[in-house]
Structure 1
Amino acid sequence: MTKKLDYDSLPTDLTTSPSHTAVRTKFYVLDTNILLHEPLAFLNFHEHNVIIPMVVLEELDAIKDRQKDVSRDARVAIRSLENALKDATPEQILAGVPLNRLQGNHQADGTLAIFADYELRQADSALSLTENDHRIIQAAIELQKQHREHKVVLVTKDINMRLKAKGAGVKYVEDYRTDQLIDDIRFLSKGFQEVEGSFWEQVGEVTSVQEGRDTFHEVERELLPNVFHNQYMIDDDETFAGRVVGYNDKHVRLLDLGYERMMGYSAWGVHPKNIYQAMAMHALLDTSVDLVILTGPAGSGKTLLALAAALEMVVEKGIYEKIIVTRNTPEIAESIGYLPGTEEEKMAPWLAAITDSLEVLHKNDESMESSLNFIMKKANIQLKSLNFMRGRSIQNAIVILDEAQNLTASQLKTIITRCGTNTKIICSGNLAQIDSYYLTAVTSGLTYIVERFKDYPGSATVNLNGVVRSNLAQYAEENL
């Protein structure tokens, strides 16, 4: 017979150790989707205690053998939990195993426990315990009763489950926000600053230096206090355009790019239609920038500019050897095995935006189909599934990652860490068109890398304001 654990009889050193005296510890009950989102999430709750309901382990076990990318995250989560609990006795696992004994780069100082939710009785619940979500909710309610002096929090990325949990009586329900760097998408870095009026009137006196063909200006830091590397500067009068190339406590060093010069840029026959596209094109064509992040609404030209710049640098300039285009397939079609043909033929429907852009770039050719076939071979354009990118080492290539708003931070890390010598990666996405069940604009991996890389000297971010596709598309973007 299984002995029911009395959580109020836990040893005091598990809940009131010296490191916990400043703040009363909380109990965090994790839903399955938290461990799928980040397999090591249980290490991110500092001095607080983490509880995994038994049904969560059952769900991870059911997911780990699926032929989907999420199955890998399930396996990593299971191995990580096993590593944390492997030396503990059954009684210790139920009571809570200290996490500070785990080696590695983490600040976890609480405990990890498994909650035996199979002991829950239907008579004590207003929810049907035949559903896994309801068992997790009821587990949180039971823990809430047992820990009346502590805050018990159910953590889930499922919005509907958060609503049901509140309705069922769970006092504290939260989303997982450890990888959320901003609270409002309006605070997301755009990659540029717009100065009201004339830039020169705003900054007054500057120190200018000519180095070869380039002109640099040094202005007082107090005039531009919130700057970061490779941030662009433009003004309303269309008289100045520059980029931050360095700064210290006293001065900001700007590379003068010239407003008119930027508007005169060209890549594979494409010219910028506004200053935002001009900044994007400058970053795309700059070989010192290894990561370019393009955000903006549908129709702002993200994919077209990325492809035009890639073709320019591969075919015309020979800087890179190939173009790899990838994106995450929707969860409903995550497995591409059902589609006929090779990997590239299977990916073609999901990368139609790329083929559409190629057609736009060659629409005036005598034989567009022949031109497309020639360019696909000449530029060595490869259409790859994101699921098959793991484990690769990419050299001498441009990687275009389209629809990046649907990726988590860990998925983007997987791609970016694949890039080797002489490789440039272009991430583009529209944060208003997220298809993932569990991601929002502030928790998207695209938002995460914009904030993480905004001051990295080898990256540049540009938000492409304005829709240039058509008047109809612009009206729809603004009014629908």
Structure 2
Amino acid sequence: MEKIFVLDTNVLLHDPMSLNAFHEHRVVVPMTVLEELDHIKDRRDKDVSREARIAINAIDKILFSASPREIQEGVNIPTSRESERPGTLAIFPDQLINHDTAAAFLDGSEQQANDNRIINTALHLQVKNPESYVCLVTKDINMRLKAKGSGLENVEDYRRDRVLEDIQYMAKGYEYLPGRFWDSINEVETLREGSQTIHVLDRASLGPLHVNQFIYDDSGFVGLVRAIDGERVELLDLCRDQLMHQSMWGLRPRNMEQAMAFFLIAQQDIDMTVLTGPAGSGKTLIALAYGLHAILEEKRYDKLIVARSTPPIAEDIGFLPGTEEEKMAPWLAAFDDNLEVLHGTDESPFSSIEYVKDKANIQFKSLNFMRGRSFNNAYIVIDEAQGLTQFQLKSIVTRVGSNSKIVVLGNLAQIDNKYISPLTSGLTYLVEKSKNFPHAGIMHVNGIERSRLAAFAEENL
């Protein structure tokens, strides 16, 4: 059966290269979508306007040499696989649809006119192509409901960006085994490498694993998956007491997840660490403490860059005066709070914080201004990453230069982007795509250590 996919504007904004995701099928872009992209490309929101321009360029790259008739009938979408039949891309003049067709026709308020015209396109194609599978693809839940209520048989969310079917299966970076770990192991080879003890086990006896994943049990055993080679797994034997007594910049772990995060973030061969978890679990404090330790004590990096995305400033509190760092201050106050925690017991906390900021060369950046740059000899912390798309996170991670480490922080329960869910967040995508990379570490830091009130609120409110 021929498949025809009608794309909504938000699909192209969410993934500007989504045209390549429909393989050998027909892709139809209504004229209204092009008009919306044209309007969005000049918005003040740099992230959205940039993705609109990329989407427009991707469409132009496919259609630039085609005739008007070919554009309406469908132009082949280039494919990198020689064995795959190419799909086609067509532009549909939805402004010509009217009540004369047998399809249902939506009309209404000016605010909904564009959505209605896109739905009308799918309804029109459904009537004109009764033997085909006609599907509207949109990330707008209300638009999906309207389309189904109007008689459209097939309406879907854009699913290519989903790396999981259920968020509970997202990698946590550790596996807790009740009881005693060694009771389930029949055969093991133990090696010594200097002061380290390595256990080589059969992979089949351990279940799904990834590199740099921790395994711990009730008896005190803690192991780190150092390598996976075919059917063999190398486990680095760690001491639980030593993990719990680690110290960085005066900070000590309060629970096992924090202890494992301490160990992971300090590994020199790990270039990227992703820390997820609820508010108050200590993610930001751990990232900041290690950054200060690595810069001021180990002299490993030259600067500490703290960055996060910012909502449109003019919509919230007006344009702020001052330098980039001063403009970013309201959104990065959390880092000042954590510096106060680390230096709150000093004789002069304010002077200590200012000294540390200057000595560690702490720089506050907006993610909107990080693209196109390259950061060398830097320790980079990306905060509130749960609201970023896969495309945005990729463009940030590719900025990391030589002798640099990046730490990505996020809480999937606090997504404030209406087009992003925990399953489609760039943070989830980053975790799942990087979990098998030997130079990346993942840790879900559990346990609310902020206060008993914060723990109550996280669990019950």
TM-score scaled by structure 1? Answer: 0.91
CA distance in 1 between counterparts of 2:436 and 2:106 reads 51
- Aligned pairs for 1:114-193 within 5 A: 114-121=91-98, 125-128=105-108, 130=110, 131-193=113-175
Which letter maps to 2:36? E
Residue in 2 that maps onto 1:36: 13
Counterpart of 2:39 (choices 62, 77, 90) is 62
Counterpart of 1:259 (choices 232, 235, 240) is 240
Question: CA 1:451/1:106 → structure 2, altered by over 3 Å: closer, same or farther?
Answer: farther
Counterpart of 1:85 (choices 43, 63, 70) is 63
CA distance in 1 between counterparts of 2:339 and 2:81 reads 47
Q: CA deviation at 1:103?
A: 6.8
Q: CA deviation at 1:204?
A: 4.9
Question: CA 1:65/1:419 → structure 2, altered by over 3 Å: closer, same or farther?
Answer: same
CA distance in 2 between counterparts of 1:411 and 1:260 reads 39
Q: Single out whichever of 49-58 and 246-255 deviates more from structure 2.
A: 246-255
Question: CA 1:395/1:104 → structure 2, altered by over 3 Å: closer, same or farther?
Answer: farther
CA distance in 2 between counterparts of 1:140 and 1:448 reads 30
The C-alpha deviation readout for 1:289-308, integer Å capped at 9, x for no partner, is 00101111111111111111
Q: CA deviation at 1:431?
A: 0.6
CA distance in 1 between counterparts of 2:363 and 2:99 reads 55
Residue in 1 that maps onto 2:190: 208
Task: Check if 1:46 corresponds to 2:26.
Answer: no
Q: Kindly indicate whether the alpha-carbon contact (under 8 Å) linking 2:211 and 2:437 is maintained by their aligned counterparts in 1.
A: yes
CA distance in 2 between counterparts of 1:213 and 1:437 reads 51
Counterpart of 1:362 (choices 333, 343, 346) is 343
Question: CA 1:230/1:209 → structure 2, altered by over 3 Å: closer, same or farther?
Answer: same
Question: CA 1:229/1:188 → structure 2, altered by over 3 Å: closer, same or farther?
Answer: same
The C-alpha deviation readout for 1:357-404, integer Å capped at 9, x for no partner, is 111111111121111111111111111000100000110111101111
Residue in 1 that maps onto 2:180: 198
Which letter maps to 2:160? T
Query: Which SS does the other structure have where 2:118 is aligned?
Result: helix
Question: CA 1:74/1:263 → structure 2, altered by over 3 Å: closer, same or farther?
Answer: same
CA distance in 1 between counterparts of 2:229 and 2:80 reads 37
Q: Kindly indicate whether the alpha-carbon contact (under 8 Å) linking 1:122 and 1:128 is maintained by their aligned counterparts in 2.
A: no
Residue in 2 that maps onto 1:111: 88
CA distance in 2 between counterparts of 1:56 and 1:425 reads 37
Q: Kindly indicate whether the alpha-carbon contact (under 8 Å) linking 2:371 and 2:396 is maintained by their aligned counterparts in 1.
A: yes
Residue in 2 that maps onto 1:97: 75
Residue in 2 that maps onto 1:7: none
Which letter maps to 2:184? Q
Question: CA 1:268/1:106 → structure 2, altered by over 3 Å: closer, same or farther?
Answer: farther
Residue in 2 that maps onto 1:442: 423
Q: Kindly indicate whether the alpha-carbon contact (under 8 Å) linking 2:313 and 2:319 is maintained by their aligned counterparts in 1.
A: no
Question: CA 1:254/1:479 → structure 2, altered by over 3 Å: closer, same or farther?
Answer: same
Residue in 2 that maps onto 1:279: 260
Q: Kindly indicate whether the alpha-carbon contact (under 8 Å) linking 2:26 and 2:88 is maintained by their aligned counterparts in 1.
A: yes
Paired residue total: 455
Q: Single out whichever of 469-478 and 48-57 deviates more from structure 2.
A: 469-478
Which letter maps to 2:443? V
CA distance in 1 between counterparts of 2:83 and 2:425 reads 23
Query: Which SS does the other structure have where 1:157 is aligned?
Result: coil
Question: CA 1:440/1:135 → structure 2, altered by over 3 Å: closer, same or farther?
Answer: same
CA distance in 1 between counterparts of 2:81 and 2:349 reads 55
The C-alpha deviation readout for 1:205-224, integer Å capped at 9, x for no partner, is 53221211211111222221
CA distance in 2 between counterparts of 1:36 and 1:250 reads 42
Which letter maps to 1:317? E
CA distance in 1 between counterparts of 2:82 and 2:349 reads 54
Residue in 2 that maps onto 1:6: none
Residue in 1 that maps onto 2:209: 227
CA distance in 1 between counterparts of 2:293 and 2:458 reads 30
Question: CA 1:407/1:438 → structure 2, altered by over 3 Å: closer, same or farther?
Answer: same
Q: Kindly indicate whether the alpha-carbon contact (under 8 Å) linking 1:43 and 1:108 is maintained by their aligned counterparts in 2.
A: no
CA distance in 2 between counterparts of 1:403 and 1:129 reads 36
CA distance in 1 between counterparts of 2:410 and 2:58 reads 32
Counterpart of 2:280 (choices 296, 299, 313) is 299
TM-score scaled by structure 2? Answer: 0.95
Could you tell me the percent identity over the aligned residues?
51
Q: Kindly indicate whether the alpha-carbon contact (under 8 Å) linking 1:127 and 1:168 is maintained by their aligned counterparts in 2.
A: no
- Aligned pairs for 1:393-404 within 5 A: 393-404=374-385
CA distance in 1 between counterparts of 2:413 and 2:438 reads 28
CA distance in 1 between counterparts of 2:64 and 2:253 reads 59
CA distance in 2 between counterparts of 1:219 and 1:330 reads 49
Residue in 2 that maps onto 1:74: 52
Q: Kindly indicate whether the alpha-carbon contact (under 8 Å) linking 1:323 and 1:398 is maintained by their aligned counterparts in 2.
A: yes
Q: Kindly indicate whether the alpha-carbon contact (under 8 Å) linking 1:43 and 1:107 is maintained by their aligned counterparts in 2.
A: no
Q: Kindly indicate whether the alpha-carbon contact (under 8 Å) linking 1:245 and 1:255 is maintained by their aligned counterparts in 2.
A: yes
Q: Kindly indicate whether the alpha-carbon contact (under 8 Å) linking 2:187 and 2:202 is maintained by their aligned counterparts in 1.
A: no
